[in-house]
Structure formats: structure tokens, C-alpha cells
Structure 1
Amino acid sequence: MSKKRKVFILDTNVVLHDHKCIYNFENNDVILPIVVLEELDKFKKGNDQIHYQAREFVRDLNKISGEKLFKEGIPLGPKQGKLFVATGKPFTQAMQDSFFEKSPDHRILAIALYVKEEFKTRVVTLVTKDINLRMKAKSLGLNSEDYTTDKVKDIDVLDKGVQIHEDFDPKAIESLYNTEGVTQEDFPIQQLPANQYFVLRNASKSVLATFDPFTNLIKRVEKQGAFGIEPRNAEQTFALNALMNQDVKLVSLTGKAGTGKTLLALAAALQQTKNFKQILLARPIVPLANRDMGFLPGDVNDKIGPYMQPLFDNLSVIKHCHNPKSRENILIEEMQRDEQLLITPLAYIRGRSLSDVFFIVDEAQNLTPHEVKTIITRAAAGTKIVFTGDVEQIDSPYLDKTSNGLAFLTEKMKGQDIFAHVNLIKGERSYLAELASDLL
């Protein structure tokens, strides 16, 4: 090992978060504890994204494996460090005094302490997404940090989908009402990312507007409904504009519970049934309170049902906007019967090529950046994908506001001509739900 290089020791959850993680430490050396390989064996079989990550990592490791992996290390590529696999090490006295159980986490700590002692002239850091393990490491004098490669650097990007400007030039507002659009040269705002939304106000007038990257014009956004659902505030109006815009192929909608994210997406999809062969609604299954699906009674459909129920609830809201025998409700029933409208767990989507599909991914804050990328790359011609979620309500223990896939997507895609983002602020479910979301 080169003395100038740092040493990073990886926890299992880093590998399961990003199977390409070993290539993201520049010219520094990476150590993979043998315990990690042992734990990966438990995740090789299954349909969830975490199982996919485990399988892909093991395949990649197999390509570069060899005897040198355990002693000399194997170079990871040009201008990169080496990869080592470290075998088990004895517990130090400090560890024996603090931790009585020889769990996988503690065995990783033992290896990290051994490496730190072995290479005193180098900076040794344990990388883990487990906050508790980071605290344990620091209690033993070990450097420890989160895996930050795919963390969002500007978390405020979620709030920037809509800009509000007070005391705006009344002439500019008037021109938006009287013309098909205003050119960038005639618009008094310089920062104009593609599909940026604006609320422009002065003492007497206001207007909702957006920058259309295909015409290079700032245009007025008119209020429009979708399949019986009418927007109740400016953000919902913007959301429907993005959802109904055929030039926009990727949409992210963020906001707290009750702001109408999923409802608006579903209503817009139903309004555009002639443009798509199928409407797919999916969400990741993240059991609460550490209870796995196996604890639920019944067959696989019975187990999945409770996790999909919020999507069915949104569908019921739309159906109740119409007479039971109306053309709209008959259409919904026919689409469900013919599987043109399908509500399904996200894990069932992997491997498919989605063409001419309106695809809604709910609770996307529980996805990793790599999972979001995997989903988007399923999109074939004619497909539109909508991600909805609340970054304040993350159920995954290894994700937070800056590392979840929804925030990552919004930051990386901002400014692309086929992408639009809206952060919904005001809850419209009920006054009770709004109050609880704000105060509790």
C-alpha cells in the first residue's frame, strides 16, 4: 500500500446502496472486510433492488478476484487505488470491554482497528451508512463517515422548482396575459432553467408562468383540471402543467403528506389515456417497525395489498368525483380489468422495457439514487415517468434528505429540457391533516 493514500473500509450497507462503490474513492485504497462477503450471501436471492445490488457486486468482484486480493491488493483502474479483502481479526481489549456480542458490525470494527494499528502513518476511515456503527467506531477512536458520493449538495433544489417574485414589473405581467409568450431578452429574470415555474406579483396583478425550453419563451400557466380533479393552489396548477405537458418526459413532485402529489399524477395519467398504452402505479415496499412481509397473513397478493392501499385510495378519490355509472368510472374499471391501469410493487418492474407507459413511482424518497437510475433506464419510446415523495418521511434506515433517490434525481436533472420539478407546499387533504403535518 502506498503511504500517501488513505484507506477506506467499507460496511455491507455501502455495497448494498451502490454496487459500484469501490470505484468511487479516487486513488485511495479500499478494504472489504471478509464479513461483508459473508453478509452479501444473505442477499443474493430475491427480487428487491437490494438483492440486485448484492448480485451485481459479487459478479464484479469475481472479475477482479485473485490471490493478490488478500495480500498485495488488486488495482481498481487507472488513477485509482487498490482493493483488498481483509480476513477476521481478534477483538481488542477495548472492544471486549464495550461489546459482548461478536456481531457482523463488531467484527468489521475489529478489522478496522487492526488496519488502523497496522498502518499508523495513513488515514484509515470506516465508511458506513449505519449511524449507530459510526458512533461505535468513534467511541473506539476510529474515523468514520457516511458514504457521500451520491449525496445531494444543494438540498434547497427541492424548493427551487417554483420561484415567487413580489413587486414584479406590471408591464411584464401584462405582456404574459396579452401574448403567447415573452422572450428571455424582455423578461427581467436572468436565471431561467428549463421548465422553471414562477409566481409573479405586484400590488394589483399576479400571474403564473413557466419557461418553455422548446420555444425559448416565458409563458403564462393557465389553470386546468384533469379527470375531475381541479388544482387548489399555484403549486398544484404547476404540477398539472408539468404532468400534462407531452414534451416533459420526467417529473418529480415533492411535498409533505396531503399536498396531492400522487392524486394529481394519477388524474393527469387518466386524462391522457389516449396517449399511453398503460398506466403503471408502483411504490417500493419498505415495511415499518422492522416487520418483514412474511409476518403478514395470506398469499403474496394479501401481503402486498397493505403496501399498495394508498394508491388504491387515490384511485377511489378520483372515482368518487364522478357518478358510479359515469363514463369515467366505466373507463377506470375497464382499464383495471384489462391491466391497462396496474398498481404493483416496484420490484416487479425490474427487467421490463416500458414503452408508451405513464409510470408513477410513489414514495420515491425511499429509493436509492441507483434504484432511481435503474427505473428511468427502463423507459422506452413514448414513456413518461413521475416520481412523487416526501423527503421528510424516509422509512429506509440508510437514507436521509440528502442521499435519497428523489432528491438526487431532482438535483441532477434540473435544467434538462424534458424534466420538470414542483415542490407542493400546502396540504389540501384536510385542515386536520395539514395541522398534524405542521405541528407533530
Structure 2
Amino acid sequence: MGKIYVLDTNVLLQDPYSIFSFEENEVVIPAVVLEEVDSKKRYMDEIGRNARQVSKLMDQLRQQGRLHEKIPLPNGGTLRIELNHRSFQQLRDIFVEKTNDNRILAIAKNLSLEEQAKEDGKVVILVSKDALVRVKADAIGLNAEDFLSDRVVEINHIYTGYLDLYISTENLSRFYEKNELILSEITNHPFYPNQFIVMKDALGGSQSAIGIVDKTGKRVRRLIFDYDHVWGIKPRNVQQIMAFELLMRKDIQLVTMIGKAGTGKTLLALASGLMQTEDIGEYKKLLVARPIVPIGKDIGFLPGEKEEKLRPWMQPIYDNLEYLFNTKKPGELDAILAGMGSIEVEALTYIRGRSIPEQFIIIDEAQNLTKHEVKTILTRVGEKSKIVLMGDPAQIDHPYLDEYNNGLTYVVEKFKDQEISGHVKLIKGERSGLAQLAADLL
């Protein structure tokens, strides 16, 4: 027996193609949802783009028949728009205000009561990304679920980029002697290209080694990274050594780093970019960008030219640059950057339509990007460029994203088996003892 899924507005605005995710079941979209989608069409962000995509999809499906009647979907299910369905009779005494959320709940409840009155009635399920809508649904005896089809990975299965492996003392000695080991001779565990292995003595000895899996996934080799420091920055833990290995290698064009605040993601990436741009000359320019998403209430319009408007949003980048250049006086950093001319700090708003060759590109706070936005960014990367995406999936300010469906997690999972990419999850905070304690406790 099939089911009836009633979709909330936020499901369509998160994924316009969500209507095709419910297999051979009936999908119902309340008319009030279309009203809400229509009100978002003029937005110039990802929500507006998705709203316009929903409109186009509905117009295409309209060619197959009347939308207020059931029309077939390619996956075997059906779709219909629910019009005036006595929207507020059942819940009039429970929810006083006729908000859009309450109207959607009322429609789902009425459909559920109708199905319960039938001998072969279907189960009605409200699908919403809004936790409070699901709580309200539960309170009135209505089945409700989160939309999970947009999740890239299940909980606690996000790829870390490294693995601890206990091997014999003989194999550890052989690794130091030959600088590599054949993986099939020491383990049956499968590995991804450029995945790190922390090899430890199986007998409990103090000897250990860090290796990186080669492009074939069949051998583990010694790290190439042998710098004492990069632009004055020394790695303070194992994961930071791994990060420098990925950041400094020319054959790895895409690097992803995730970690809590204070683990050194931005500082490591900037130091590596500066060294390869200014000292080695591997790249012509260092481009640093981040999405403009406020943590709290938006501060509104800002005065001045573009650079002045962007400064508050880009200040975390400038803080790290001040540390790297060891500037003490106000305006000293601006003078240095103006004199160098090879460092560009930009907002992601301006990246569409660009082609970026021979540059070291750093995208900070990438967890606030959607799948579409991150695709737009990666398709801008030109020949001989390297791009670094980093962020903390646990700190998301986007209303429709979470730890498991954001653009950064999407790239990590999709590229983990590609030869040109590498990933590492930074764990230990190095900013200060207070910052590490706050990241753990709060």
C-alpha cells in the first residue's frame, strides 16, 4: 500500500527535484506552498534560484495534465496540487492563527482523516525541514518526517581522510627503510587515493609513522612534505602535518579541510598559498574568498566602495594575514598587500562567470555553500590552479543546510576516491586553551 507525502515549502526550496524522491507514492503540494515559493522567486540567492526552478518544473509537469488532479511522475509515483481543502476546520481550536505553517498542517491532517475513513486508506506523512512543524504535527497525531534524501552521508560517517593502522614492528622498520609498503601485505582494509595512514606498533611500542596512499590505492608512501615551517608556521599536530602535505603538493588540485574553530584551517591554507605564490612562484596569484552569510542579525547596508563594504565580512582573513605578516601598526597590512599585488581577497558573490587559471584559491566557510554553489565555484577553476575548500560543518548559518547536506560535505564525499583530491579532518584546536575548551563544551 502506497503512502501520501505532503511537502512543506522548505523541502522544495532546499531541493526543487525533491518531488521525484518518493518512489511509487503520492506527492501532495498544498496551494499555500506554491504561494510561498512564488514569494521567493525574486530573491537573488540560492533560495530564489530554487524557487524559480520549482516554478519551471511545475510548468513542465502542467503539460501532462491538470495539476490539481493526479499526474504521473517518472519514478512511478503521482503528484497533485491540493487546492481549497477546508484548510482550517479541524485545527481551528488548536491553532488560533492562520499562518502558512498551520494551513499546511491542517491540509495534511484533513487528508489523514480522509484516508483513515477508508478501508484501504493510505498513510499520510508531512515532510518538512522545519523541526517545529514536525513537533506540531506530532502534537496533533500526524506523521511527520525530515527530508533526508538530500543528505550526502549518514550521521557519523563523514570521511576523515586518515586512518589508524596497527602493524608489526618489522613492517614499520621496512617502511622507514624503503619509504613505502604494499597495502595488501599489511591489511585487507580498502583505502582511497591520498588517504593518510597513521601506522602504529601492534605490540604497543613507541615507534610510529605517517604515510599517504598513492594514486592507485595499493601502496602507502612516506610524506613528501619536509619543510621545517611554511611561511613561519610550524605544524603542531599530526593532522596539521597531513594538511600541509596536501596543501603543498602540486599534484593534488583540490584540498578539503574540516575542523572546529581554532584548528588552524585558514592559517595553514594562507601560509601554504603565500609560500607557493610569493616564494616558489608556483602560482601567479593567491585568491581568498568566503560566502557572505551573517552569524547573527544582518548589519544592513554598509557605506563606501566595494573593498570597504567587504572588509567586515573578510576580517577573519585579514586577521590571519596580519599574523602571518607580523604587522603591528594600523594600515600596515593594507600597504603590504597593495605593494605585493598578488593577493586578492574577494566575496564569492563575484565569482560567477569567472575563469581562474594559475591561482591558489582558498574558499573559507565553505560549509555555508549549497551543492549548486559549490559546483559553480569548482567549475570556475582554470588550468594549473589549486583550490582549497574548508570550514566547520557543525557551524552552519544557512537556514536550509545542515552538517550532512552542505556543499563542503558534498565535495568531501564525492571526491574522496579521486586522484587529484585530498581531505583531512583537523581535530585539535591550536588557537588557545580557551578556544579549544569552548569548541568542545559549547
| Normalised-by-shorter TM-score class | 0.7 to 0.9
- Structure 1 residues 319, 195: CA separation in 2 closer, same or farther (over 3 Å shift)? same
Structure 2 unaligned runs (5+)? none
What is the aligned counterpart of 1:271 among 269, 275, 295?
Answer: 275
CA shift at 1:235, angstroms?
0.3
CA shift at 1:152, angstroms?
4.0
CA shift at 1:420, angstroms?
1.4
What is the aligned counterpart of 1:237 among 241, 262, 276?
Answer: 241
CA shift at 1:130, angstroms?
0.6
Q: For 1:281, give the aligned amino acid.
A: V
CA–CA separation in structure 2 for the residues paired with 1:139 and 1:147 = 19
Instruction: Report the equivalent of 1:257.
Output: 261
1:64 matched to 2:71? no
CA–CA separation in structure 2 for the residues paired with 1:211 and 1:323 = 45
Contact 2:88 2:103 in 1 (8 A): no
Instruction: Report the equivalent of 2:323.
Output: 317
Contact 1:228 1:322 in 2 (8 A): no
Q: For 1:298, give the aligned amino acid.
A: P
CA RMSD of aligned residues (A): 3.0
CA shift at 1:206, angstroms?
2.0
CA shift at 1:9, angstroms?
1.7
1:101 matched to 2:108? no
CA shift at 1:75, angstroms?
2.5
Superposed CA offset, 1:175-217 (max 9, x none): 3333242233444463322111122233242211110115843
- Structure 1 residues 276, 170: CA separation in 2 closer, same or farther (over 3 Å shift)? same
Superposed CA offset, 1:155-189 (max 9, x none): 434463222235x3223222333324223344446
CA–CA separation in structure 2 for the residues paired with 1:226 and 1:21 = 46
Contact 1:253 1:388 in 2 (8 A): yes
Moved more, 310-319 or 389-398: 389-398
CA–CA separation in structure 2 for the residues paired with 1:184 and 1:323 = 53
Superposed CA offset, 1:94-143 (max 9, x none): 42222222222122222222332344411222111110111112212221
Partner SS state of residue 251, structure 1: strand
Instruction: Report the equivalent of 1:308.
Output: 314
Contact 2:191 2:217 in 1 (8 A): no
- Structure 1 residues 386, 155: CA separation in 2 closer, same or farther (over 3 Å shift)? farther
CA–CA separation in structure 1 for the residues paired with 2:27 and 2:207 = 60
Q: For 1:235, give the aligned amino acid.
A: Q
Contact 2:288 2:345 in 1 (8 A): yes
Superposed CA offset, 1:261-300 (max 9, x none): 11111222222223334433222232233x2353x54358
Moved more, 308-317 or 251-260: 308-317
TM-score under structure 1 length normalisation: 0.87
Q: For 2:181, give the aligned amino acid.
A: V
CA shift at 1:236, angstroms?
0.4
Superposed CA offset, 1:330-363 (max 9, x none): 874445x4xx433233233234344434332222
CA–CA separation in structure 2 for the residues paired with 1:160 and 1:393 = 17
CA–CA separation in structure 2 for the residues paired with 1:146 and 1:353 = 38
What is the aligned counterpart of 1:436 among 432, 435, 438?
Answer: 438
CA–CA separation in structure 2 for the residues paired with 1:359 and 1:391 = 20
CA–CA separation in structure 2 for the residues paired with 1:397 and 1:30 = 24
1:298 matched to 2:295? no
Within 5 Å, which residues of 2 pair with 1:74-223? 74-77=71-74, 79-120=75-116, 121-158=121-158, 160-166=160-166, 168-188=167-187, 190-202=189-201, 203-213=205-215, 216-221=218-223, 222-223=225-226
Instruction: Report the equivalent of 1:359.
Output: 361
Identical positions, percent: 42
**Structure number with higher helix proportion:** 1
Contact 1:157 1:410 in 2 (8 A): no
- Structure 1 residues 111, 384: CA separation in 2 closer, same or farther (over 3 Å shift)? farther
- Structure 1 residues 342, 183: CA separation in 2 closer, same or farther (over 3 Å shift)? same
The count of residues paired between Structure 1 and Structure 2 equals: 428
- Structure 1 residues 344, 35: CA separation in 2 closer, same or farther (over 3 Å shift)? farther
TM-score under structure 2 length normalisation: 0.86
Contact 1:73 1:82 in 2 (8 A): yes
